[in-house]
Chain A
Amino acid sequence: MALADLRRIAPPRAGRRGPRAGEGRWALLFLAPTLVGLALLSAGPIVAAFGISLTSWDLLTAPEFVGLDNFFALFRDPRFLIALRNTAFYTFISVPLGMFLSLGLAIALNQALRGIALIRTAYFLPVVTSATAVGLVWAWIYSPVDGILNQFIGVFGFPAQKWVSDPFWAMPAIIVMSVWQGLGTSVIVFLAGLQGIPQEYYDAASVDGAGRWSRFRRVTLPLLTPSIFFNGILALIGAFQVFDQVYVLARPGKPTQATITLIYFIYENGFKNFKMGYAAAASWILFLIVAALSVVYFRSQRRWVHYQ
C-alpha cells in the first residue's frame, strides 16, 4: 500500500511522548555507526582545524602558535571582505531563485504525461554532465564576441557585454549557470516529496470546489514544506561553499578577480600561499556565519513547516 493509503487508515496525530522503556539502548544500536564516524572521522579533524586556525602553518614546516592573530588579520584583509561580499551576494540570490524555479519545475514534471520520464532525465542531465563541459558551453553562451546571449540582447538594442570577464556581470553570470545546473538535484527532492502527498487530499479539495491554484496553495505547498525546508538548508550551506562553478567558468585571475568566493579564498591561502592557519581561520568564520543562519532557519521550522 502506498504511504497515502496508510494515512487514510491511520491519520497521524501530532504530539510528543516520553522515551519508551529500553529505547535508549535501541537508539544506541541504530546510532552506533554514526557515532563512531562522528568521533573518529569528524571530531578529530574538526578540532584539528580549529587548532590550526590558531597557528601560522605552511604545511611544510611545524605550525607556530599565534593565537587569534589570524582572525584579526582577516577582517583587515580586503580580499577576504570581497570574498565575503561575493559569497553573500551569490547565496542570497541563487538560493531563493533556485528554490522557486525547481519547485515550479518539479510540479510540472510530476504530471503523468507521456514521455515524462524521458523529459525528467533530460532535466537531470546537467547534474551529471561533466562540469568542464557545462562550463565551456556557458563560456560559449557568454562569449563577448559572438555568444548567444549577446546576440540575443543585441536584438533588443542592448550593447554586447563581456559577462564573465566583466567585474560587474561575472557573479550574476555564475549564478545563472549554477542555478541552471542545480535545478536537477532540487527537483529530485521535490519530486520525492510530491509523491508523499495523498491524492485524497486533492480530491477532497476539488470536491470542495477548490481550483488549481487553490489546491496548490492549500494542499501541495503546506505538505511540501518539509522538502522545501530540506532543500533550503542544503542550498544555503552549498551556496556558501560555492567553488566548482567559479573554478570552471570564471576562475579568479582569468581574467577578473571579481569572482573570488570564500572557499576559493580558503583554498588559495591554504594551498597556494602557504598560509593554512589563515585559511582555517577563514573557514571558522564561514562556519559561524552558516551555523548562525542555520539555527535561525531551523528555529523558523515551527512556524512554517508541517510535519504529519
Chain B
Amino acid sequence: MFATTITGRPRGALAAAALAVMLAACGGPTASTGVTSAPASEPAPGVSGEPAASAGYSGPPATIEYAIWGDPAEITSQTAIAQTFMDANPSITVNVSVSDWDAYWDKLQTGIAGGAAPDVFAMDGPLFPDYQSRDVLLDLKPFIDRDGYDLTQLADQGVADFTTEGGQYGLPRDLNVIALYYNKAKFDEAGVAYPDDTWDWAKLVDAAKQLTKDTDGDGTMDQWGFYTETTDMENYWLSTVWQNGGDVLAADGKSTVLGTDEAAGGIQFIQDLIWKEKVMADPAVFAETGDAFEQGVAAMASNGSWLVPTFQAAGVDFGIAPLPSGPAGRFTSVNPTGAVVYKGSKSPDAAWEFVKYLASPAAQEQLMQLKASLPVSKEVLAGPYATSFEGAQVFADSLEYAKLKPSFKGYNEFTTLLQGELDENVFSAANKTAKQALTDIVPQLDALLAGQ
C-alpha cells in the first residue's frame, strides 16, 4: 500500500531537478552500483563483460519506460530522479509513465496482456508473488552477480520481499512502517504523558480512555482517544495479531493460521477498543470523511509512515512513538514498494542500471524529501533520514522489530474475503467475536490458498 499525499507547495520540476543535481554532487557516493571489484565472470546478458563498477551503462543507446503510481508530489519527485539518472547516463532515455493507484494495475495488466509492458515498473510488496509466479518479471540475480552489487546496503526486509528461492526479482525502492501518532495538544490538555517505548496494550487503553471525551455534553463523543483504519490489515490489526503471538499465514504459506487463539486475540483487542472500551469510533463514522487524527478529532492513531506530510499539511502538532507492545512483544509491519523489470524488456541492462539508481543513496535522499516513506538505503536511513523530521528516528528504529506485510499469490482475493467478514461482523458491528468470525471464514481462506 503506497503513500499518497505531501505537504505544502510542490516544487516545480525545475527546482526539484536542481536540488537532485545538488544532492548528487555533494552527497555521499554517487554512483549507483555499490562496492567491490568486478570479477571477470561469465558475460552478462547483452553486455560485453564490462564490469559496471562506476560510470554504469556502457551498452547501446536505449529507451526504457518506467511506470509508477503516485500523487503529483511523488510523480514530480520520481520524474526528477529519472532526469538526474538521464543526465548521468546520456545514452539511456527514461520515459516516466504515471497513473493513480487504482488505474495503475489495470493499465499494467492490460499492457502486459497486449504486449506493451513498461521496462521498469513499481511493484507493491503484497502483490509481488502474483506477478513473479506468472513469470513476467526478470530475474536480476545475474546482473547483481555480474556487477557485484551489494544487497546488504539495502534494508533487509525490503530485499527479502523480492527474493525467491530462485533469484532476486526486484530491488526495493522505499518502505513504509506503522507507528503510533499522538496529538501533543490533546495530551497536554488532558495531562497525560506522551506515549513512549514502554507502552503496552493496557497503557494504550488507559490513556485512550482519558482522552475520549464528550466535550459538549450531547451524549456523543466529540473526541476519541484512538483511531485507526480497520479495512486493511496494515494499519493496525496485522501488528496486533503479531503482538499477540499469532500470524496470518503458516510457515509454508499454504494455509492460514488466523484461526488460532493468538491471532484472534490480536483482532479481538481492536474490536474491544471500539465496542467494549469505547475509545475508538465505529468505523462507519469516519469511513467517508477520512482520517480522524488528521481532523484533530482523535488523540492517537495507529497508521502508516506515509501520512506524515498529510498530518503536517493539516496543521496537527503530532509526535510519533513506537506501537505499544502486546503480550508476545513489540512488532510492527513494514511494506516495501519495489522496482521490478519486465521479463520481456528489450533493454534489460539499461533497466537494471535504472533500478540500481532508484535504490542508490542519491535517489533515496531525493525520495526522502517527500517524507512520505522510508528510504531503503541503509546509509541514508542511518544518516540524513533519521534527522529529517521529528519522529523519523522512531520509524527508522522500528525496522528492527518490523515484519514484512504478508505477500502471497491470491492476496487480493484473500483479503477481500477476509475483510468482508471482519468489517461486517467484527469491526463495524460486534456481531461476532473475532474468534467466531475467523473460525467461520478460515475454511474459505484455506480453500482459496489451496487453489492458487
Contact = CB atoms under 8 A, between A and B. Distances in A.
A256 interface: yes
B285 interface: yes
B9 interface: no
Given A60-B113, A273-B412, A253 B420 contact: yes
Given A60-B131, A144-B284, A256 B428 contact: yes
B400 interface: no
Nearest to A60: B134
A169 to B, nearest CB: 11
A233 interface: no
B288 A164 contact: yes
B261 interface: no
Contacts of B282: 144, 162
A257 B420 contact: yes
Nearest to A267: B106
B413 interface: yes
Contact of A144 (B134, B285, B410): B285
A121 interface: no
Interface string A263-283: 000001001111000000000
**Residue from B105, B106, B230, B416 whose CB has the most chain A CB atoms within 10 Å:** B416
A59 B284 contact: no
Nearest to A249: B288
B423 A271 contact: no
A143 B423 CA distance: 18
A142 B106 CA distance: 31
Interface string A236-265: 000000000000010011111110000000
Contacts of B110: 59
A60 B285 CA distance: 39
Given A59-B109, A256-B428, A272 B134 contact: no
A164 B282 CA distance: 13
Interface string A148-185: 00000000000000101111000000000000000000
A69 interface: no
Interface residues of A, number: 30
Contact of B413 (A59, A135, A136, A273): A273
Contacts of A268: 416
A145 interface: yes
B284 A162 contact: yes
B428 A255 contact: yes
Contacts of A142: 288
A255 B284 contact: yes
A143 B289 contact: yes
B134 A255 contact: no
A184 B111 CA distance: 36
A255 B287 contact: yes
Contacts of B420: 252-253, 257
A253 B134 contact: no
A54 to B, nearest CB: 17
A308 interface: no
A59 B113 contact: yes
Contacts of B285: 143-145
A257 B423 contact: yes
B134 A165 contact: no
A265 to B, nearest CB: 11
A58 B424 CA distance: 29
Nearest to A58: B134
Contacts of B134: 58, 60-61, 274
Given A140-B289, A162-B284, A273-B413, A255 B130 contact: no
Given A60-B109, A164-B287, A253 B413 contact: no
A109 interface: no
A166 B282 CA distance: 12
B427 A143 contact: no
Nearest to A274: B130
A139 interface: yes
Interface string B288-320: 110000000000000000000000000000000
Given A61-B134, A272-B413, A273-B413, A165 B287 contact: yes
B135 to A, nearest CB: 7
Interface string B100-130: 0000011001101100000000000000001
B334 to A, nearest CB: 23
Contacts of B30: none
A254 B288 CA distance: 8
**Residue from A167, A252, A254 whose CB has the most chain B CB atoms within 10 Å:** A254
A167 to B, nearest CB: 7
Interface string A27-71: 000000000000000000000000000000011110000000000
Contacts of A252: 416, 420
B283 interface: yes
B419 interface: yes
Interface in A130-147: 135-136, 139-140, 142-145
B220 interface: yes
Contacts of B410: 273
Contacts of B424: 167, 255-258
Contacts of B113: 59-60
A60 B109 CA distance: 7
B248 interface: no
Nearest to A271: B106
Contact of B284 (A165, A253, A271, A272): A165
13 contacts: A59-B112, A59-B113, A139-B289, A143-B285, A144-B285, A164-B288, A167-B424, A253-B416, A253-B420, A256-B424, A257-B424, A268-B416, A271-B106
Closest A-B pairs by Cβ, 9 of them? A165-B284, A139-B288, A255-B423, A257-B420, A60-B134, A59-B113, A272-B412, A59-B109, A273-B413
Interface of A: 58-61, 135-136, 139-140, 142-145, 162, 164-167, 249, 252-258, 268, 271-274
Given A61-B134, A145-B220, 16 more contacts: A59-B113, A60-B113, A135-B288, A136-B288, A139-B288, A162-B282, A165-B283, A165-B284, A166-B284, A255-B231, A257-B420, A271-B109, A272-B105, A272-B412, A273-B412, A273-B416
